[in-house]
Structure formats: structure tokens, C-alpha cells
Amino acid sequence: MTVSEEYIPTELGNIKIADDVVAIIAGLAATEVEGVVGMSGGIAGGIADILGKRNLSKGVKVEVGDQQASIDLYIIVKFGARIPDVAWSIQEKVKQAIESMTGLEAVSVNVHVQGVNFEVARDEGEEEDSRVR
């Protein structure tokens, strides 16, 4: 991602918001939605590459202009989650976060579901069923 060359003029000078800042905001907002397991590196990164919360800008592609931003998010959803509801929640949350934090208009928030996580969370006291002890 590159730094946007567009500046927002103010009375005191110019404000420049880097593309990475918008990507991090979008990634953080998306991972807070119930049903999202993590971000994916996209097709090029491989569907198996589920990226943790530390890499908030990974799995996010943004295009930032002087007044608008377009965001693409590549996500992994939790098995059993209703995908359309998760995607809609992501769109709403990301749009609200971008617009409130940066002042940019989010003209599009595209959600790309790259996979479904089938892992079932075990209780801490439960032992893994194994043939060898």
C-alpha cells in the first residue's frame, strides 16, 4: 500500500491520511464483527493463510482519494455464522469507522469471503481424543 498523494486543505495546513491508516481502521472494525475468525491474505496470499489480529492491514486493500475511500476485505468466517449477515455487519461497521475517524466517504466496502473455519473450541479441561497416550 502506498501513501496517498491527496491532501485535505485546512486553515492551518494540509492533512494527509496514508492508505495504511485506512486499512488498519478497516481491518480492526472487520475483526470486531461476530462471526469473523480472521483476515485472509486474499487469493495471492493463499486461503490457508489466516492472519491474526496483529496484522490488521493484511487482508485489506484500500484505494484512497482526497475525499473518498474504497475498501476490499478478505475474510474467514466462523462455521455456522450466516454469511450475508456477517458481511452486511462488516460493511456497516467499516463504513462507520472510516467515515467517523478519517472524514473520508467510504464509497464501497467489498467483502470477499475466502473460507470457513471449522475448528470447534474445546473447553480448557477437555483433553484431546488421541490414540496414543
Q: What is the predicted pLDDT for the residue at 3?
A: 43
64-112 pLDDT per residue, tens: 988 899 999 999 999 999 999 999 999 999 999 999 999 999 999 999 9
CA–CA gap between residue 68 and residue 25 (Å, rounded): 15
Is the pLDDT reported for residue 26 higher than 60?
A: yes
Q: Is the pLDDT assigned to residue 126 strictly greater than 90?
A: no
Q: How far is CA 36 from CA 75, 76, 107, in A?
A: 7, 6, 22
- For residue 10, give Cα distances in angstroms to 16, 85, 102: 11, 39, 14
Question: What pLDDT shows up at residue 4?
Answer: 43
Averaged pLDDT of the chain: 81
- pLDDT at 110 (0 to 100): 97
DSSP states of 93-132 as a string? HHHHHHHHHH--EEEEEEEEEEEEE---PPPTTPPPP-S-
- Is the pLDDT reported for residue 48 higher than 50? no
Please state which of the ranges 5-9, 27-31, 42-46, 128-132 shows the lowest mean pLDDT: 42-46
